[in-house]
Structure formats: structure tokens, C-alpha cells
Amino acid sequence: MSRSAGSRANRRGEPPPSPEPLPAPAVDSHTHLDIVLNGFRSEEPADESAVDAEIEAAAAVGIPRLVQVGVDVPSSRWSAELAARHPNVLAAVAVHPNEAGEGAADDDALAEIDRLAALPRVRAVGETGLDRYRTGPEGWAAQEASFRAHIRIAKEHGVALVVHDRDAHEEILRVLDDEGAPEHTVFHCFSGDAAFATACVERGHVLSFAGTLTFGNAGYLREAAARTPLDQLLVETDSPFLTPVPHRGRPNASRLVPHTVRALAEVTGVEVDRLCDALTRNAERVFGRWGTDPTG
């Protein structure tokens, strides 16, 4: 994802109506509320009432907890500030690999990510990683250096690592193995096949599945999910991107997570209420408890 991709996503109109509520609460482990509401105009902070309305809409269908994810310094600050004021939200902070490939992960930016990662409601460093799709070879060295720096920040602060992996499966594992992965490492919007899922699971990593799981051409993802142990699964929106069927092509939102949860239940053969309980437990193990006090 990039700034321009965020702007394009937000021009497609409002997200579709909410689905039937889940029988038990689950967690959206990766969302970009700033992009949903602002089209990634970081200089124009999202209206607090609009943010609260999105969070309430998600809670109404059984998604009461969200992880708001930063992709550069401004959005990471915003994510940390939102989590500090809202008990339903935790934050992740990072410079996205596409931004890093353009030189945005300089010393000042990494120092600010390091500072933010120490805040009590910031529970992950991410999304960071490697992207061989949007960034050409000229930016790969900068991406890898940024990824390694983010891994070290996550380990220093004892928080989770949220990995963006696009067309870079083997390279991602190489860097994680070389640096030593944090205790909790999440492959956001898992995009690999069953063999890659097995390689990640054997290393103890957690796989988070997005609306892509519901796409007709994503049989390889469904096979990967079916092979993933229940205690290593998460779900997410990556909103406003990757909207699940039946609303593919329209903007995504956290209130649409139930579509993905039900698809995951069908793939894994686990009853929806039991799956929701497991997803919540997994999220709390990875990110810690949300609690009722936004100060910590």
C-alpha cells in the first residue's frame, strides 16, 4: 500500500452495509481508519466523531476491538493518539516498506517509531517488511535495512511485529531468521500458499487472513488457512482495502470482518462462536489486553 493507493481506495464511495453480527466477539487485527476516513491526507486529521462512528459500527456486529496500523510517521503518531484516547483501539507504528524503499525510513523517522513503540497503547511495530511488487530493485536494499531496524525496535520494546510481505516470501523468512524474530510475529494479510504457511507456522508465527480469503481465485489461501493451527490464526480487514465477497471492489471497513470470519470458519471446520473465541484469545496473546482504561 502507498499514499496514492490509499487515496484511490477512498474514492470508491462508502463501505457497504454491515453484515449479520457474529455470535461472539472477534478482533480486527489490522485496519487503517485514517485511510478509510481521509483518503490518507495525513495533514487533515480524521474527525473524531467519524472515527468513533466507525468503531461503534464494528462493535455492533461483534468486532469491539481493533488494531490501528500506521504506515509512516504522521499516521503512526495518529494511530498512537487514537489508541491513547479510545479503549477499543490498540496501535501499531512503522514506516511501510514502500515508503522505506523511497527513502522515508531515515534516522529521524526510525527514532520517532522507536519513541512511539514505547507508549503503553502501542503494542506492535508494523506494518514493516518487504514489498517486491510496488518497489523496484533500486529500493530493495533500503527496504531491507528498514525491516531489520523495525525488527530490532519491536524486540527492544517487547511488542509484536506486523509483517507486510508482498512477493517476498523467502526474503522475509531469511531476514526474520537472520535477525531473530520477536516472540509474536504476525504475517498481515497472509498471501502465501500452504507450503509457505507451514514454514511460518513451524517458526511460531501467526497468520492473519483478510478478505482475500473469500475471493474465488484464492483457493491457495483457503488451503493455507486450513493447515494453520487454530492458535496461530487472526483475521483483519486491512481496510479500506481487500473487501471480502460479496462486496469486493467497494471500500472495506472493520464492520465487514464477519464475512471473513465466517469464511474462515468454513475453511477450518471450526464453529463460528468457537472460532471467534480463539481469534480473541490469539489477539490478546499477541497484542495484550485492550482493557477499559485507554491510558494503559
Residue 56 C-alpha cell reads as 461503534
Residue 137 C-alpha cell reads as 530493485
pTM: 0.93
Per-residue model confidence as pLDDT tens for the chain (296 residues): 444 344 444 445 677 889 999 999 999 999 999 988 875 444 455 678 889 999 999 999 999 999 999 999 999 999 999 999 999 999 999 999 999 999 999 999 999 999 999 999 999 999 999 999 999 999 999 999 999 999 999 999 999 999 999 999 999 999 999 999 999 999 999 999 999 999 999 999 999 999 999 999 999 999 999 999 999 999 999 999 999 999 999 999 999 999 999 999 999 999 999 999 999 999 999 999 998 655 44
d(CA 66, CA 48): 16
Distances (CA, A) of 100 to 130, 161, 259: 9, 16, 33
Distances (CA, A) of 53 to 94, 114, 189, 255, 256: 25, 30, 25, 11, 14
164 labelled ligand-binding = yes
Q: Which DSSP category does 7 fall into?
A: H
The pLDDT, as a whole number, for residue 24 is 98
The pLDDT, as a whole number, for residue 44 is 53
Give which of 74, 70, 123, 111 is closest to 93, Cα–Cα.
70
Give the residue ranges of DSSP H helices in the chain: 3-10, 33-38, 48-60, 73-85, 97-101, 107-117, 140-157, 169-179, 194-202, 219-226, 257-268, 272-287
Angle 242-39-162 from CA coordinates, rounded to 5° = 50
238 labelled ligand-binding = yes
**CA atoms in the 13 A half-sphere facing the CB of 261:** 29
Domain positions in the chain: 36-287
94 contacts 130 by C-beta, under 8 angstroms: no
d(CA 222, CA 16): 24
205 labelled ligand-binding = no
Q: What CATH number is given for 36-287 in this structure?
A: 3.20.20.140
277 labelled ligand-binding = no
Residue 175 C-alpha cell reads as 531476514
The pLDDT, as a whole number, for residue 3 is 41
234 contacts 282 by C-beta, under 8 angstroms: yes
d(CA 22, CA 261): 9
